[in-house]
Amino acid sequence: MNRRILAVPMSMLLGMSASAFAADTLLVDRVQETAAQAAPVRGWTSTQVQARFGEPQQKLEPRGGQKRQWPTIHRWVYPAFTVYFERDRVIDVVANQAGPDEIGPKPPIR
């Protein structure tokens, strides 16, 4: 009998949590849908990125470099992604958050 009493509130909680998150768009879903969209590839030079995608919207201040084992990282922001460079080589590309209703990484620290 106690199980039935607990089952009703748990099912109500599960139903409420599913409806509360139904309107959210996951960044991962959008990235998988647009996987065919071109993005820089790890190892490309900054010259190759600029030739293919043009001038970035913004070049953020470099980070790191305080110690020899901490390389300086440069970041270029494009409308759909941010490119991270070590020296002049791409080390990572991260999709930007499209809007406030999308769940995913926050914009880069400026």
- pLDDT (tens, 9 = 90+) of the chain, 110 residues, equals 555 544 455 555 455 544 444 556 566 665 555 444 688 999 999 999 999 999 999 999 999 999 989 999 999 999 889 999 999 999 999 888 766 676 666 666 66
- Work out the end-to-end distance of the chain between its first and last CA atoms, rounded to an integer number of angstroms: 57
Helix (H) or strand (E) holding 25: strand 25-26
CA nearest 74: which of 50, 39, 98, 97? Answer: 50
Q: CATH second-level architecture of 24-103?
A: 2-Layer Sandwich (3.30)
Q: Which pTM does this prediction carry?
A: 0.61
Tokens at 99, concatenated: 């809007």
pLDDT at 32: 56
